[in-house]
Structure 1
Amino acid sequence: MWYKNKRFLTIAGIVVALLVVLAIWLVFFNKPKPPELVTQAAAIGNVEKTVLATGTLVPFKQVSVGAQVSGQLTKLAVALGDTVHTGDLIAEIDSKTQTNSLQTAEAEVANIQAQRASAQATLAEANSNFARQQTLYKADAGSKADYDTAVATLKSAQGSLAALDAQIKSAQVSVNTANVNLGYTRIVAPIDGTVIAIVTKEGQTVNANQSAPTIVGLGQLDKMTIKAEVSEADVANIKPGMEVYFTTLGDPDKKYYATLRSIEPAPTTFDPDTTTSSSAAAIYYYALFDIDNPDGILRTNMTAQVYIILQSAKNVLTIPSAALGHQDKDGNYIVMVANPKEKSRPPEPRKVKIGVNDGTNVQVLSGIKSGEQVVVAQATAGDSASSASAGGRRGMGGPGGPPGGL
């Protein structure tokens, strides 16, 4: 039995030794690894806080050229894309009706003028008779009745002539109106510009009694206006005079810079005749600005991606906005700064004063130097990828961090 006890003691000793070794390893050699940090160096860059909007390009000045008289469009003198000058012929409408109206009005004037000539002769005769009866009456050679009749006849002749003069003026107005209507059958360009739309084709009949039908649309394309739709959440932050730039879908790398001209006071869908509104509909306001277009690259109804600059800082020290922690009562933010040479050391908290924050990067006014590594996320050893992704979204400040900008 003694050899069995000896064997048992040997096994027990080995187990105890293994436990001692395990304990030593756990205490001295199995220290937990520090959490993996995602860092980024503070660097010189630009920061812009902007309002993003979608815009449409329209000519700075555009006119719908319409018809003021009814009739068939007998001639269309322009084509789409033609350049015209003020007074150039655009189209002609069949003028038979207007010509007939003018001739009728002129005939009426001639008729009244003939009546006036007759009335003038009658007046002259009445004047002679009045003078004769007046002489006889004063010499007691004529009767009072004949004198009174002569006076009445004279006044009647004078009144008839005055009435005909008034009729001539009225008839002349009709002639002038008929002349104007005849002129309306020749539609000319009211401005210099380019034909950007042809609404009525040659041979069509237009009816100006129902509405003013549009023949063509003219636009001056050497200068364009951008109508940017700004949401009601952002419109309070913008004002005329702000710098703005935009890109087009055809050339997204080219930026066109301008100055905000105005913000329209009513929403884009405003209808003064409608008293009800839908609370579910999004509300937008047009922000307007202009851009020169001497080479004609910008075209009517192009879509523009518009950036209205609220704040900007160029060539300044920047760090990612995700690095910002909580804000203290003095307005400073806590930022964790890592030491790349001593990765085992925990990151150092710094008080940082910031300037412009565009939601992605932030301007650093004090507290950090260029090249220092700031912590933007913290990952666990077991799930570094997912934690780094989440940290990049949340930043080091958690729920209390700064908003993502506009």
Structure 2
Amino acid sequence: MGKPWYQMGVWLGLLALVLGGCGPRRPAQNETSAPVAEAAATRSVKVRVIEAQNGTLTTTRTTGATLTPARESQVGATASGKVLEVRVTEGSGVAQGQVVLRLDPVNAQTALRNAELALEQARVNLERAQRSTSGSLAPLQASLESALANLQVAERRYREGKQLFAAGAISQVELTGLEAAYNQAKAAADNARENLARAQRASSEDLALLRLQVQQAQNQLAQARRAVADTEVRAPFAGVVAEIFVNPGEFVSAGQRAFRLADTSQLEATFRLPPEEAAVLPLGSRVDLIYGGQTYPATLTKSSKIPGTDRLVELTARPQGALPPGASAQLRYTLTLAQGRLLPAGALRTEGRSTFVFVVQEGKAVRTPVRVLGDTGTRVAVEGLGNQPVVFPVPSSLSDGDAVEVVQ
């Protein structure tokens, strides 16, 4: 006898459940979206950013400097002779005009006495000539005055004779005689005048020559006095006798160097820089001298502008403060390299000849080309950059277009 129908239905239902559990299962919606979201999160790069600022890029550097006197002179002998005495030693301070060494003055003093005698003789000759001229001109002056008086009398008689002749009081012979006497007196006056003038010219020329001789003798005397003074070689300015080139007993010639004098009241710091650095360090720039652990301000005063044999440009600065001459010091200076957008040097990336930075724009890293205007090694000034934040530091795996997440 068969099973009841309701038992057959139960077995069929169980079979359906078993078969359903063994078939394929449809995944849930949240189970499929989780891996996609996880992959998207993996492609986002976490970065830090900085803001580029407009400004001037400067750098401070140091170099060696030598301190030397601002004024130095090789003082030479102004006369020839044997050195009698050297009154100072090397390193001694001297005042302006102080005698440093003496030469033998005997020859110069002899020349001085001869010049004094020559001047005295010239003056005596001039005075004698003046007295002689005065004595020789007096008779000629008297003769001229007498001749002029005679001429005046003869002229008056001649005029009166012409009047008398017109009135018939005298004859023609008498009038002719009066005329002859007038002409003779006139000739005598002319002769006396010429004699006096000739004597005066001769005396004037002689006196002029003698006066020139007196002036020449005065010049020779002044020269002789200078020669005596030149036997003492003096310091032209206050300073320190850095070096002496002669010794007592030696013979020196005029112009031969005797000692070296240095004005240590004001020193100069001499240093050398590459031409490109010297070109951007203008005169008047402030620099610092570092000596003995202290810093002394200094001002740039000179620049050669032309590189030397070592291809460096020599510059000079004037320091403030008491420093020892000849010492070596460190000189610190600041160079203005460029003006532009300032960034850390590590923000730059290069590829071939291209230089660029990464900026963050709309959640992505955007490669932006820039041109470097100046570089200190740690900071750079660039152009071509806008106001977008710049990625720094730059992850090594960052590429153009990558999604980024800015973190603090």
TM-score over 0.5 for the pair: yes
| Equivalent in 257, 277, 284 of residue 214 of structure 1 | 257
1:352–1:368 contact (8 Å) kept in structure 2? no
* Pairing 1:245–2:280 present: no
Q: What is residue 308 of structure 1 aligned with on the other side?
A: 333
TM-score normalized with structure 1 length: 0.60
| Equivalent in 188, 199, 206 of residue 234 of structure 2 | 188
> Which protein is richer in helix relative to its size?
2
Tell me whether 354-363 or 132-141 shows the greater mean CA deviation.
354-363
Q: What is residue 263 of structure 1 aligned with on the other side?
A: 303
2:346–2:393 contact (8 Å) kept in structure 1? no
* Pairing 1:103–2:113 present: yes
Cα deviation, residue 122, structure 1: 0.9
SS of the aligned residue for 1:257 comes to: strand
Q: What is residue 72 of structure 2 aligned with on the other side?
A: 62
SS of the aligned residue for 1:326 comes to: strand
2:127 alignment partner AA = A
Cα deviation, residue 350, structure 1: 8.8
Q: What is residue 267 of structure 2 aligned with on the other side?
A: 224
SS of the aligned residue for 1:69 comes to: coil
| Equivalent in 185, 192, 204 of residue 250 of structure 2 | 204
1:291 alignment partner AA = P
* 1:123-162 equivalence runs, <5 A: 123-140=133-150, 148-162=194-208
1:87–1:190 contact (8 Å) kept in structure 2? yes
SS of the aligned residue for 2:325 comes to: coil
SS of the aligned residue for 2:233 comes to: strand
Select the structure of larger CA radius of gyration. 2
2:144–2:189 contact (8 Å) kept in structure 1? no
2:96–2:236 contact (8 Å) kept in structure 1? yes
2:87–2:100 contact (8 Å) kept in structure 1? yes
Relative to 1, partners in 2 of residues 1:266 and 1:331: Cα closer, same or farther, differing over 3 Å?
closer
**Alignment coverage as a number of residue pairs:** 295
2:90–2:242 contact (8 Å) kept in structure 1? yes
1:163 alignment partner AA = L
| Equivalent in 256, 277, 293 of residue 234 of structure 1 | 277
1:327–1:334 contact (8 Å) kept in structure 2? no
Counterparts of 2:352 and 2:294, CA distance in 1? 41
Counterparts of 2:297 and 2:196, CA distance in 1? 87
Counterparts of 1:53 and 1:179, CA distance in 2? 53
What stretches of structure 1 of length at least 5 have no aligned partner?
1-41, 269-280, 336-347, 379-395, 397-406
* Pairing 1:358–2:376 present: yes
1:50–1:311 contact (8 Å) kept in structure 2? no
Counterparts of 1:65 and 1:256, CA distance in 2? 31
* Pairing 1:324–2:348 present: yes
What stretches of structure 2 of length at least 5 have no aligned partner?
1-49, 51-56, 151-184, 360-364, 399-408
2:91 alignment partner AA = G
2:299 alignment partner AA = T
2:354–2:369 contact (8 Å) kept in structure 1? no
Counterparts of 2:296 and 2:381, CA distance in 1? 25
Counterparts of 1:311 and 1:143, CA distance in 2? 98
1:156 alignment partner AA = A
2:246–2:258 contact (8 Å) kept in structure 1? yes
Tell me the C-alpha RMSD between the 2 structures: 4.1
Relative to 1, partners in 2 of residues 1:64 and 1:165: Cα closer, same or farther, differing over 3 Å?
same
For each residue in 1:130-172, what CA deviation from the matched residue of structure 2 results, as whole angstroms up to 9, or x when unmatched?
2221123224486865664444233222221121011101110
Counterparts of 2:307 and 2:113, CA distance in 1? 51
Q: What is residue 287 of structure 1 aligned with on the other side?
A: 315
Cα deviation, residue 318, structure 1: 8.2
Relative to 1, partners in 2 of residues 1:82 and 1:328: Cα closer, same or farther, differing over 3 Å?
same
2:78–2:233 contact (8 Å) kept in structure 1? no
